[in-house]
Amino acid sequence: MNLPSELPIVQAPMAGGPSTPALTAAVSRAGGYGFVAAGYLSAGALREAITQTRALTDAPLGVNLFMPSTPGDRSGIAAYAAILRPEAERLGVALGDARWEDDGYEAKLEVVASTHVHLVSFTFGCPSSETVEWLHRADLQVAVTVTSAPEARIAADSGADLLIVQGSEAGGHQGSFAGLSARRIPLLSLLEDVRGTTGVPVIASGGIMTGGDAAAAMRLGAIAVQLGTALLCATEAGTAAAYRQALLGELFSDTILTRAYSGRFGRGLANRFALEHDGQAPQAYPEVHHLTRPLRAAATQAGDTSVPNLWAGTGWRQVTAEPAAAIVRRIAGDARRAAT
- Tens digits of residue pLDDT in 96-148: 999 999 999 999 999 999 999 999 999 999 999 999 999 999 999 999 999 99
Helix axes 211-219, 324-339, angle to 10 degrees: 50
pLDDT of residue 183: 63
Which of 19, 52, 2, 49 has its CA nearest to residue 324? Answer: 19
pLDDT tens for each residue of 196-228: 889 999 999 999 999 999 999 999 999 999 999
Question: Which positions ≥6 away from 172 have C-beta within 8 Å?
Answer: 12, 14, 228, 266, 267, 268, 311, 313
Under DSSP, is residue 112 helix (H, G, I), strand (E, B) or coil? Answer: helix
Find the helix or strand (DSSP H, E) in which 85 lies: helix 74-91
Taking the C-alpha atoms of residue 112 and residue 95, their distance in angstroms, rounded to an integer, is: 33
Question: Which positions ≥6 away from 335 have C-beta within 8 Å?
Answer: 8, 211, 212, 214, 215, 218, 225
Region 235-259 average pLDDT = 97
- Indicate the average pLDDT of the chain: 96
| β-bridge pairing 61-66 and 162-166 | unpaired
pLDDT tens for each residue of 48-91: 999 999 999 999 999 999 999 999 999 999 999 999 999 999 99
Under DSSP, is residue 11 helix (H, G, I), strand (E, B) or coil? Answer: strand
The structural domains of the chain, ordered by start, are: 9-68+103-237+319-339 (3.20.20.70), 71-101+253-309 (no CATH)
Under DSSP, is residue 311 helix (H, G, I), strand (E, B) or coil? Answer: strand
Q: Is the pLDDT of residue 182 over 70?
A: no
Q: Where are the beta strands (DSSP E) in the chain?
A: 9-11, 34-37, 61-66, 119-123, 141-146, 162-166, 172-173, 202-205, 224-227, 255-258, 266-269
Which of 99, 89, 127, 107 has its CA nearest to residue 47? Answer: 107
pTM of the model: 0.96
Q: For residues 266, 270, 273 and 275, what is the CA-based torsion angle, rounded to 10 degrees? A: 100
